[in-house]
Amino acid sequence: MPKINLLHNSSSFAETEVNSTTVGQLRAEKGLSGYTVNVDRTVVADEHVLEDGMYVAAVKSDKTGG
């Protein structure tokens, strides 16, 4: 189980242990359908493999404004 740094519905990253090994599995586990997922500042596909220590940010795809 990877331990990632997750930014989701907050203003800072939180160390989070997840059962997912890919971004697609993380979407299902955390209910991230409709979110753009960045890993270490890069937008990635659902097949991207998650590893310990990665910084993962999930941002609502329809977000507007600053």
Question: Could you give the maximum distance between any two Cα atoms of the chain, in Å?
Answer: 35
Q: What would the two tokens of residue 37 be?
A: 């997922």
Number of residues written out for the chain: 66
CATH code where residue 38 lies = 3.10.20.30
Q: Tell me: the pLDDT tens digits for 3-38?
A: 999 999 999 999 999 999 999 999 999 999 999 999
Question: Residue 63: what residue type?
Answer: K
Residue 65 resides in a domain: no
Residues 6+ apart with CB under 8 A from 50: 2, 4, 18, 20, 21, 22, 23, 26, 39, 56
Residue 56 resides in a domain: yes
66 pLDDT more than 90: no
Counting the structural domains of the chain, the total is 1
Whole-number pLDDT of residue 65 = 58
What is the rounded distance in angstroms from the CA atom of residue 22 to the CA atom of residue 66? 29
Residue 19 resides in a domain: yes
Residue 51 resides in a domain: yes
Structural domain containing residue 43 = 3-60
